Structure 1
């Protein structure tokens, strides 16, 4: 088996001598105590893992020097004090592996203990939260206990009723204990920080910090929500013979299905649902799938848990002092690191929005060096109380742009300084409109002509070949282009007068601009760069209204009939179109297309009886936003893998356009609402999930046949 591409093993910290070992033990113990008690560790996960592996390596070479305080072989690193409530069965930690080779070695060690090979392994996400035990008596939730030192935990029953997925009453009147993780989703974390700051508190550094602080908090003036994911269940002395027998015989997978049937939230309802697999190759493939899905999850995971599924295999493998021998955590590369905020840059975008960007002390995250991160807006900086010089928690996953989550307030020294906000536009020196959360130069698009024109000419907008940023700069500097409409008035003589513009390049550029005039309305609307819209939203608007004149005539209430447009976004679009009115008029005068092929105007739909579907009804299937019938009418379609045949040259954006032209709605993830999955080569986890859900699957050739009548229009 080959090493997983999703995981790279970070080197252990090298401890040169006894003094370095003693310092490492002290640092790890402090960090572990803070991590499990409040979530405010001085080390991020990656640094802690490397330090503990270094401690273990030193102890292996110098067994006589092992410190009693060492975190190795202990639940919670041995740093958490026992609570007041004894556990009915020890609540242990998990050992870790970091590579495919280590996983193979671990499964072999389990099978040496079980005798016959383990037939089934359960594979599930390792959720980044706090382990708790929920005790139910005759179906009623009576007590909630933290893991503590593994033998006894802290009573946090005051949190009952504030945790999503942990019902007060089960579907059956059974007595048992359900174990799982309490965490904050990204949405809950953002909401918690908003409420916390409103009440004068410092923002939480990360979701785990937020969950730890919230779970233990008593008598707060406010309440914030958390989420529970169950990962196990066990009988307690009062369970009764029947339930005790069932739980003692069932495999882990069956137990978790039972827990879900009782009404408790488990990972089974997520995109990384647990699976029971039979080979290490299948386990590794599932690990890679979960790692790939990680960036899109609404909650944090830091690994994948692999367990021998059957009760007999678990009993045969047994337990160690720290962890069960039949379960292990396959750790993923850290996507969160602590680094220093060196400063804040202010950049002006194509619509005049003034966006802050964090300048960071370089830090390695998930295989790449991060030196910049997203800061949403000035209000966000103020809300998070970010200061130059702060130690900050930086988050990165997959291809998502890194972002600063919050300052690590407990690491402040007093030398940190307030972030300096600009008083005038950094681009042109004009005044700044600060009336909204996102500040904007009063000159709007005129402030950054190069950015707005380059965006409009991009592949997913007007796709003007030969008009890159360098050429746009040349045209702007020569005074030939002041906005998008000027592109369509350029003459051959004007272009030939520019440096590095010969006859061939001039003719090619003019031909590309002429082709751009014929793009569908959805592309033109996207090219305008209306705030609050992008490629997908532009397609929905264009398909709903069919022509620019209908979009411009729509008020905010009418715009809300388009799927995904709420009250605030509708107001923004109306205001933007008023601002863009002179530019749109000039584009119309220049002969730029302002209609969407195949779409039916709202008035025409109303006349033929189809209007009701477009007047505020559920547009989840995409029919009303499409504005007309088609082979995909009422269907939600997901595309995955590499396209072949007639679809081979289409970008993913062009595939989405094709779906919507044919009456469907494009989506990026497979769910119960998905009507059709177009699965190309190397389809991966989306195909697996579609098969599990019984979703219809089509090859690229089959899909091309379905939408054949729409392949030659647009795109």
Structure 2
């Protein structure tokens, strides 16, 4: 018996602690313990309840995992009806509501409790002696469905009211919602499992709450937002609705942080305008604002009409969804070359504005939603977010609806379109000539680590592009032809122009690795440009191999059309993929860049303008650190970071900036950062400065006294 009493005492203590932690996490947004500590307490309570089943109470924090499927939901009556609210859709209707309420009680002005109107599904909770006994849907307002087993799975819904003196009986009303961020993750998971995704968070919340199998509901990230109290016995409530919200929070419920007490019609209008502005940034969807007379005596005097109170109204936001016809699709090119399909729509009023364009994101999304030109589509606009098409009304598809296809050439510059296997985004390959990418390409070309043109910064490039002086990198070396115009500009002068032109002239003498990096080939950074330069020795050799790579890729695809592994073996045997760090993705980007004639024309123009570099003698000597990746952190006494990098690269190794499972060594100097901790976590070998120096002098393996975290 003593053991049983001890177990019960511990179970009660654990339940109390977990309830407090739940409240701190879900309501106060201030967790008091780590997730690991919470899980430890939770598992301890589970183990105790498994050993002593009589300890399992309906309010135990462990009772949120769901129960076996129910054949149907039982009908239950609400202790007090869940009334509907009258709606209004503009300021005039809101003013009319305020006038009727004031005249009804002969008041010059009224104080209102203003709340956001959550876009979810209503739920009525019944607590007896502070413990949840029943959860029911709104139903017809008088009778709802018993979904208690499902409601228990909602993580932020209290199974026992907080506080020492709960009411004998109380009904708590609120909305079950699904946050936007969690909605997207849920739909992604459903799609991966081959299930139909939900249309919007409201439908997801309603569908999840009415699952016959509450174990399914338990997997859905639902939340309960409390906003009202129905019948209450054994306790007195404050007359102010605003104060009642505080009472709900004290009982452990999550309530909106945006509830306010406002004065008169002007206060209601200001609150509505503020919530309309905040709406797009909220993680929980709202579809309007609710205004309720705050004082209990005024509410009692106003009373009810039919099935709605005279003292409350919902001011709805403009509809966020509408249907219209998709007339055409155009492809826009972004600053990085990414092509975005844009739907051209029959104009429709949605979200408070007339919408004629909507994003289709990428070709994968078009295929997933099966969007076609001519379709009737649903257009969605949340706040100021770019309109999008969440779904197609396939049952209204005309016989002549046309599939959407990716263009063969860039709509801006006519360059070829590249789409790396496994990527959703298609891109224009004309990075050096495409007007949509021009500014970014020029900024990169002139940057310090590329051709390092001092005096040609972002502001100057923006200005010169806007005025037509720069259209491609080769135009930089023709700026001297506009010397007089440059000197006459505001902010310029003889000296500054002379310095700029001198810097441009000096940049003509560069290195092959800097030139390759300056070209802005996608996926080719400084380290990759250096490795390509050292491997091929000349730009012509690199270009020739890029051409040969595309030819081999075509042959491999022809000989092994359905065997990707076989194609990969063919492609990695030589050429581009023989360079350390160059895989199929990077090789494809390099090959596509040099296959574009316009890019080759710009390179020829740069060479004609006098840009030159020395051909590198290809070093066939053995490189003992080839294939090994290093990360440097902290400062060393004898070597600067640049010098250490050069020593590593001279021996064939690679230096990267971030630690991953592919990192071989992390070199740790004084005052190292978090990279050392991450290396330990991943089991990467750590080298201090002495061990690193020894490795450079005899690079056959780590010295015996290194800190090898894998051992």
TM-score normalized by structure 1?
Answer: 0.53
Structure 1 partner of 2:342? 357
**Post-superposition CA distance 1:50-102 (Å, at most 9, x none):** xxxxxxxxxxxxxxxxxxxxxxxxxxxxxxxx993222212122112333343
Distance apart, 1:225 and its partner CA: 2.5
Structure 1 partner of 2:404? 420
Structure 1 partner of 2:103? 112
Matched, 1:296 2:281: yes
**Cα distance change on mapping 1:166 and 1:550 into 2, 3 Å:** farther
> Separation in 2 of the partners of 1:513 and 1:105?
72
Structure 1 partner of 2:231? 235
> Separation in 1 of the partners of 2:369 and 2:387?
16
Distance apart, 1:308 and its partner CA: 0.9
Distance apart, 1:493 and its partner CA: 0.6
> Separation in 1 of the partners of 2:162 and 2:500?
62
Partner of 1:267: helix, strand, or coil? coil
Is residue 206–residue 393 contact of structure 1 (8 Å, CA) maintained in 2?
no
Structure 2 partner of 1:193? 187
Is residue 350–residue 448 contact of structure 1 (8 Å, CA) maintained in 2?
no
**Cα distance change on mapping 1:390 and 1:262 into 2, 3 Å:** farther
How large is the Cα RMSD of the aligned pairs?
A: 4.8
> Separation in 2 of the partners of 1:235 and 1:400?
41
**Cα distance change on mapping 1:281 and 1:616 into 2, 3 Å:** farther
Structure 2 partner of 1:430? 416
Partner of 1:464: helix, strand, or coil? helix
Matched, 1:276 2:276: no
Is residue 135–residue 142 contact of structure 1 (8 Å, CA) maintained in 2?
yes
CA radius of gyration, larger in:
2
Structure 1 partner of 2:175? 181
> Separation in 1 of the partners of 2:348 and 2:636?
56
> Separation in 2 of the partners of 1:352 and 1:456?
14
User: Structure 1 stretches of 5 or more lacking a match?
Assistant: 1-81, 519-526, 533-547, 554-570, 591-600, 618-715
**Post-superposition CA distance 1:568-612 (Å, at most 9, x none):** xxx99x989x989x99xx9xx99xxxxxxxxxx974699998755
**Cα distance change on mapping 1:495 and 1:130 into 2, 3 Å:** farther
Is residue 492–residue 506 contact of structure 1 (8 Å, CA) maintained in 2?
no
Distance apart, 1:241 and its partner CA: 1.9
Structure 1 partner of 2:386? 401
Partner of 1:254: helix, strand, or coil? helix
> Separation in 1 of the partners of 2:522 and 2:381?
25
**Cα distance change on mapping 1:228 and 1:219 into 2, 3 Å:** same
**Post-superposition CA distance 1:409-458 (Å, at most 9, x none):** 6x545748574332745444635324344323373734735424168779
Any residues of structure 2 matched to 1:121-160 within 5 Å, and which?
A: 121-160=112-151
Is residue 120–residue 176 contact of structure 2 (8 Å, CA) maintained in 1?
yes
User: Which residue, out of 224, 232, 243, partners 1:254?
Assistant: 243
**Post-superposition CA distance 1:188-240 (Å, at most 9, x none):** 3222332333444443333223333333233499543233221112235xxx4
Distance apart, 1:288 and its partner CA: 1.4
> Separation in 2 of the partners of 1:229 and 1:195?
25
> Separation in 2 of the partners of 1:444 and 1:616?
42
**Cα distance change on mapping 1:425 and 1:551 into 2, 3 Å:** closer
Distance apart, 1:149 and its partner CA: 2.0
**Cα distance change on mapping 1:603 and 1:308 into 2, 3 Å:** same
**Cα distance change on mapping 1:446 and 1:165 into 2, 3 Å:** farther
**Cα distance change on mapping 1:253 and 1:506 into 2, 3 Å:** closer
Structure 1 partner of 2:620? none
Structure 1 partner of 2:203? 209
Is residue 483–residue 497 contact of structure 2 (8 Å, CA) maintained in 1?
no
**Cα distance change on mapping 1:549 and 1:137 into 2, 3 Å:** farther
> Separation in 1 of the partners of 2:275 and 2:636?
44
**Post-superposition CA distance 1:385-409 (Å, at most 9, x none):** 4344443332224443212223346
**Cα distance change on mapping 1:442 and 1:362 into 2, 3 Å:** closer
Deviates more, 1:85-94 or 1:373-382: 373-382
Is residue 442–residue 461 contact of structure 2 (8 Å, CA) maintained in 1?
no
User: Which residue, out of 420, 429, 448, partners 2:434?
Assistant: 448
Partner of 1:106: helix, strand, or coil? helix
Is residue 636–residue 670 contact of structure 2 (8 Å, CA) maintained in 1?
yes
Distance apart, 1:274 and its partner CA: 0.5
User: Which residue, out of 493, 497, 521, partners 2:481?
Assistant: 493
> Separation in 2 of the partners of 1:401 and 1:127?
22
Structure 2 partner of 1:316? 301
**Post-superposition CA distance 1:498-524 (Å, at most 9, x none):** xxx797469969969989999xxxxxx
User: Which residue, out of 248, 254, 268, partners 1:265?
Assistant: 254
> Separation in 1 of the partners of 2:353 and 2:113?
31
Matched, 1:90 2:84: no
Is residue 377–residue 392 contact of structure 2 (8 Å, CA) maintained in 1?
yes
Structure 1 partner of 2:292? 307
Any residues of structure 2 matched to 1:680-691 within 5 Å, and which?
A: none
**Post-superposition CA distance 1:262-310 (Å, at most 9, x none):** 2222212xxxx11112333233222211111112112222211111112
Distance apart, 1:353 and its partner CA: 1.9
Is residue 338–residue 428 contact of structure 2 (8 Å, CA) maintained in 1?
no
**Cα distance change on mapping 1:226 and 1:341 into 2, 3 Å:** farther
Distance apart, 1:138 and its partner CA: 3.5
Is residue 348–residue 448 contact of structure 1 (8 Å, CA) maintained in 2?
no
Partner of 2:305: helix, strand, or coil? coil
**Cα distance change on mapping 1:85 and 1:389 into 2, 3 Å:** farther
> Separation in 2 of the partners of 1:180 and 1:605?
60
> Separation in 2 of the partners of 1:495 and 1:158?
79
Partner of 2:133: helix, strand, or coil? strand
**Cα distance change on mapping 1:144 and 1:227 into 2, 3 Å:** same
Is residue 122–residue 138 contact of structure 2 (8 Å, CA) maintained in 1?
yes
TM-score normalized by structure 2?
Answer: 0.54
**Cα distance change on mapping 1:352 and 1:364 into 2, 3 Å:** same
> Separation in 1 of the partners of 2:408 and 2:160?
58
> Separation in 2 of the partners of 1:455 and 1:301?
42
Is residue 202–residue 385 contact of structure 1 (8 Å, CA) maintained in 2?
no
> Separation in 2 of the partners of 1:293 and 1:445?
38
Partner of 1:88: helix, strand, or coil? coil
**Cα distance change on mapping 1:413 and 1:457 into 2, 3 Å:** same
Is residue 376–residue 397 contact of structure 2 (8 Å, CA) maintained in 1?
no
Matched length:
453
> Separation in 2 of the partners of 1:603 and 1:127?
50
Partner of 1:212: helix, strand, or coil? helix
